[in-house]
Amino acid sequence: MTSRFLAARFLATAAAALLSGAAAAQDLKFPPGEDSRFNWDSYESFKRDLSGQSLKIDGPWGGVDKALFETVVAYFEAATGADVEFSGGDGFEQRVMIDVEAGSPPGIAVVPQPGLAQELARRGKLAPLPASAADWLRENYAAGESWVDLGTYAGADGAEALYGFVYKVDVKSLVWYSPENFEDMGYEVPETMEELKALTEQIAEDGETPWCIGLGSGPATGWPATDWVEDMMLRVNTPEDYDAWTRNELAFDDPKVIAAIEEFGWFARNDDFVSGGASAVGSTDFRDSPKGLFTSPAQCFMHHQASFIPSFFPEGTVVGEDVDFFYFPASAEKDLGKPVLGAGTLFVITKDSPVAQAFLEFLQTPIAHEIWMAQTGFLTPHKGVNTEVYGDPTLKKMGDILLQADTFRFDGSDLMPGAIGAGAFWTAMVDYVGGKDAATVAGDVQRTWNTLK
């Protein structure tokens, strides 16, 4: 899936109300020490004197997210005396490359695409993080090695180092459903892939339709299927296979990849399993596809999609009441743990300085996560936070899924070259749900990849 769809947060409407009360840079949203849910000790112990020093941060966040991030920045300023300017918003990817090449980079860049961070590292434009940061991630983030791997790249000299620190995560491994519909039919939330398949078959046997699936998205048609296949890759293959696949070290037409595509097909290419039949999957708009959960009678009972999809639910829908979600389960028959697919942002140092290094240390404190958690639109794999701080029970539940993960992997199509992840992969999935076999469409993608230099 492309990152622009992740920008639509499921609490966007509620978040807009927070803008009026968002702290200015010199203000603190939650007075230190007054709310015992917060880890104020981590704030106090971080304090140091950086008076007179300044830091510029650039990133993709504008509007609500910019205001929310600035409420976090305010605590760093108060704890250090440093002055921080965040100039986020649209056009970040182009802007940061221009600034870096011109020799006027920000101190820190907030990167939504690991590929961009990797390219900056390759050009020698990033400062490596200390080894202690990698050790900290392994110890304090759930599935810690996953986050180290995500931020580790080869520098200009070819040597690998940790350059990216992940902060603010999105979850994709979710299945949405109507609790009322499940209760009426006596269905229970499945905990394994085997149970999910059995439930799918049971719903069909009961004369109902298990799934709503739509791949339509204008010129980006096909991307929702990439999330399905990526989730399946992590459920039938190892994380190492997944990583090799995104780098073209495991060919797209390898039997392991074909098996993952066919697992998606088990759900999407069965007329009895999909609302409108398999032929409707490729043409149904992804924004319209979950609406079948809310019709009476229900047109479908489940919908696989990321955390942003409630933005397209009917107006007035209450998550946790009218609709809920569960973790897209792993197989009980395979020893692959609980993988989670998602996305996130990486903080990289584009202009090294003591204040930039200090800010990355600040992001390791629970308080730097809890301040945003207590508002909206933020998820973290930090095991040291108090999850009761989450400002919404939906976010808390998603946060729990992150904390229970054995493996986290970034959206694979976003890690691939654009011609593949935002081109050939999309087209292949449309062709696949349209009737072509998995080996054929996988071969088509691989042939395109072979032409890239």
* pLDDT tens-place string over residues 164-223: 999 999 999 999 999 999 999 999 999 999 999 999 999 999 999 999 999 999 999 999
pLDDT tens digits, residue range 232-288?
999 999 999 999 999 999 999 999 999 999 999 999 999 999 999 999 999 999 999
pLDDT tens digits, residue range 125-153?
999 999 999 999 999 999 999 999 999 99
Give the whole-number percent of the chain exceeding pLDDT 90: 93
Cβ–Cβ under 8 Å, residues 86 and 55: no
HSE-CB at 36 with a 13 A cutoff on CA atoms is 0
Please tell me whether the peptide bond between 354 and the residue prior to it is cis, using omega within 30 degrees of 0: no
Over residues 9-32, the mean pLDDT reads 52
Terminal Cα distance for the chain, rounded: 23
339 vs 8, residue with greater confidence: 339
Over residues 5-18, the mean pLDDT reads 40
Q: Residue 453's pLDDT band (boundaries 50, 70, 90)?
A: confident
Cβ–Cβ under 8 Å, residues 169 and 192: no
Give the whole-number percent of the chain exceeding pLDDT 70: 94
What b-and-e string marks burial along 425-434, b requiring 16 or more CB atoms within 10 Å of the CB? bbebbbbbbe
Q: Please name the residue that has the structure tokens 């101190």.
A: 107
Domains and CATH numbers, the chain: 3-171+341-410 (3.40.190.10), 174-339+417-450 (3.40.190.10)
- Rg of the chain taking only CA atoms, in angstroms: 22
pLDDT tens digits, residue range 380-391?
999 999 999 999
User: Is it the case that residue 299 has pLDDT exceeding 70?
Assistant: yes
pLDDT of residue 27: 83
Please choose, from the candidates 418, 341, 413, 404, the residue with its C-alpha nearest in 3D space to the C-alpha of residue 170: 341
HSE-CB at 60 with a 13 A cutoff on CA atoms is 17
State the pTM of this model: 0.91
Cβ–Cβ under 8 Å, residues 394 and 375: no
Residue 88 to residue 93: CA distance in whole angstroms: 11
Over residues 428-449, the mean pLDDT reads 98
CB atoms < 10 A from the CB of 8, how many? 15
Cβ–Cβ under 8 Å, residues 80 and 360: no
For the record, the structure tokens of 426 come out as 């999309």
User: Is it the case that residue 21 has pLDDT exceeding 90?
Assistant: no
HSE-CB at 132 with a 13 A cutoff on CA atoms is 5
Beta strand 108-111 with 339-349 is antiparallel
User: What is the dihedral angle through the alpha carbons of 265, 266, 272, 277, rounded to the nearest 10 degrees?
Assistant: -10
Strand partners, 55: 84
Contacts from 413-418 at CB under 8 Å and sequence distance 24+? 413/1, 413/2, 413/223, 413/226, 413/230, 414/1, 414/2, 414/3, 414/113, 414/114, 414/115, 414/343, 415/114, 415/115, 415/246, 415/247, 416/246, 416/248, 417/449, 417/452
DSSP state of 218: G
User: Is it the case that residue 365 has pLDDT exceeding 80?
Assistant: yes
The crossing angle, in degrees rounded to 10, of helices 239-246 and 255-268 is 100
Q: Mean pLDDT over all residues of the chain?
A: 94
